[in-house]
């Protein structure tokens, strides 16, 4: 198919039809921030950080799913775009522990997002779930990007061990009937851990090392667990 002409931030470019605005921008060297987007998963446009202003569109447009069209005029850093991105980042920072999400921290710096603007706000607190020998789940760090649920399902593993619980602000990733992971259909493939952007899912060994345990201690702990399981 023939290339189409679009304009991004004043820059006229020729791109192939069928590309998303995000891909088109990348091809022109324009970076658009994303949180939930991952090349290996189906984009669901949930984080809305990648929104851009498209001339003629009523609301902002998620660039990770919206496709380019001939003559389209896109603004990736207009005032409306910046306000939405900054506010989303500020609200995210006020709700979660982003200490293991360096990329998001960088965005917050770029957009001068100040989570301190939300005093007396409820955080999404949640105790660390340490219920299996392979990985831990720390949902106080979970940004709900959906990637883990997707790779566990149709995007990769077809295991369907995890899904959504709660609603609105209290949405969380969980197992059916809140069962411990070993009692679910989880096969411990580790793909959810690999795609997690914010340290909510972490190899258990890494977690223990971060808590200050030595390799020897961890080996001893594992040996004890194995022994007790045998009995």
Partner 1 sequence: MVCNADESEPGTFKDRALMEGDPHRVLEGLIIAAYAVGADYSYIYLRGEYPYAYKVMEWAIEEARQAGYLGQNILGLGFDCEVELRRGAGAYICGEETALFESIEGKRGFPRIKPPFPTTHGLFGKPTAVNNVETLCNVPYIIEHGAQTYRRLGTEKSPGTKLFCVSGDVARPGLYEVPFGASLRHLLYGLAGGMRTGWKLQAILLGGAAGAFATAEHLDVRLSFEDLRQAGLPLGSGVVMAFDERRDLRDVLKRLARFFAHESCGKCYPCQLGTQRQYEITQRIAAGKILPGDADLLKDIGWTMSDASICGLGQTAAMAVLSAMQLWPDMFTASDLQEDYGRYSHPH
* Residue 160 binding partner 1, by CB under 8 A: no
* Residue 134 binding partner 1, by CB under 8 A: no
* Residue 46 binding partner 1, by CB under 8 A: yes
Q: Report the C-alpha gap between 199 and 143 in whole angstroms.
A: 10
* Residue 56 binding partner 1, by CB under 8 A: no
Instruction: Specify the stretch interacting with partner 1 by CB under 8 A; choose among 68-76, 99-107, 164-172, 178-186.
Output: 164-172
Tokens representing residue 193 in the block: 């851990």
Instruction: Specify the stretch interacting with partner 1 by CB under 8 A; choose among 56-64, 185-193, 200-208, 220-228.
Output: 56-64
Q: Which listed residue (23, 27, 28, 91) binds partner 1 by CB under 8 A?
A: 91
Q: Report the C-alpha gap between 224 and 230 in whole angstroms.
A: 10
Long-range contacts of 84-88 (CB under 8 A, 24+ apart): 84/48, 84/51, 84/60, 85/33, 85/49, 85/51, 85/111, 85/113, 86/111, 86/112, 86/113, 87/113, 88/47, 88/48, 88/49
Q: Which listed residue (27, 87, 115, 159) binds partner 1 by CB under 8 A?
A: 87
Closest CB to partner 1 among residues 122, 224:
122
Contact criterion met (CB below 8 Å) for 53 and 83: no
Q: Report the C-alpha gap between 23 and 10 in whole angstroms.
A: 17
- Least distance from partner 1 to the Cβ atom of residue 95, Å: 6
Sequence-separated (6 or more) residues with CB below 8 Å from residue 16 = 1, 3, 4
* Residue 55 binding partner 1, by CB under 8 A: no
Q: Which listed residue (29, 56, 127, 168) binds partner 1 by CB under 8 A?
A: 168
How many chain residues touch partner 1 (CB under 8 A)? 38
DSSP letters for 60-97: -EETTTPBP-TT-EEESS-HHHHHHHHHHHHHHHHHS-
Instruction: Specify the stretch interacting with partner 1 by CB under 8 A; choose among 11-19, 91-99, 187-195, 207-215.
Output: 91-99
Strands (DSSP E) contained in 113-186 are 135-137, 162-165, 172-175
Q: Report the C-alpha gap between 102 and 95 in whole angstroms.
A: 16
* Stretch 62-81 residues interacting with partner 1 (CB under 8 A): 62, 65, 80
* Residue 161 binding partner 1, by CB under 8 A: no
- Least distance from partner 1 to the Cβ atom of residue 117, Å: 6
Q: Which listed residue (29, 169, 212, 228) binds partner 1 by CB under 8 A?
A: 169
Binding footprint of partner 1 on the chain (CB under 8 A): 35, 44-49, 51, 59-60, 62, 65, 80, 83-84, 86-88, 90-92, 94-95, 117-122, 144, 163-164, 166-171
């Amino acid at each position: 198919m023939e290339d189409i002409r679009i304009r991004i931030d004043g820059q006229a470019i020729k791109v192939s039809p069928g590309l998303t605005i995000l891909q088109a921008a990348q091809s022109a060297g324009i970076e658009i921030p994303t949180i939930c987007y991952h090349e290996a998963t189906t984009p669901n446009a949930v984080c809305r950080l990648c929104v851009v202003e498209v001339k003629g569109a009523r609301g902002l447009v998620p660039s990770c799913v919206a496709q380019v069209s001939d003559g389209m005029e896109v603004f990736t850093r207009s005032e409306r775009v910046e306000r939405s991105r900054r506010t989303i980042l500020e609200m995210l920072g006020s709700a979660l522990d982003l200490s293991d999400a360096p990329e998001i921290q960088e965005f917050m710096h770029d957009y001068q997002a100040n989570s301190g603007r939300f005093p007396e706000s409820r955080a999404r607190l949640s105790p660390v779930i340490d219920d299996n020998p392979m990985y831990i789940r720390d949902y106080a760090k979970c940004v709900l990007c959906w990637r883990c649920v997707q790779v566990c399902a149709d995007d990769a593993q077809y295991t369907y061990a995890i899904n959504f619980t709660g609603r609105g602000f209290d949405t969380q990733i969980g197992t059916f009937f809140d069962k411990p992971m070993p009692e679910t259909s989880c096969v411990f493939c580790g793909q959810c851990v690999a795609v997690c952007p914010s340290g909510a899912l972490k190899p258990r060994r890494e977690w223990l090392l971060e808590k200050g345990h030595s390799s020897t201690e961890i080996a001893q702990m594992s040996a004890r667990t194995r022994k007790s399981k045998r009995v």
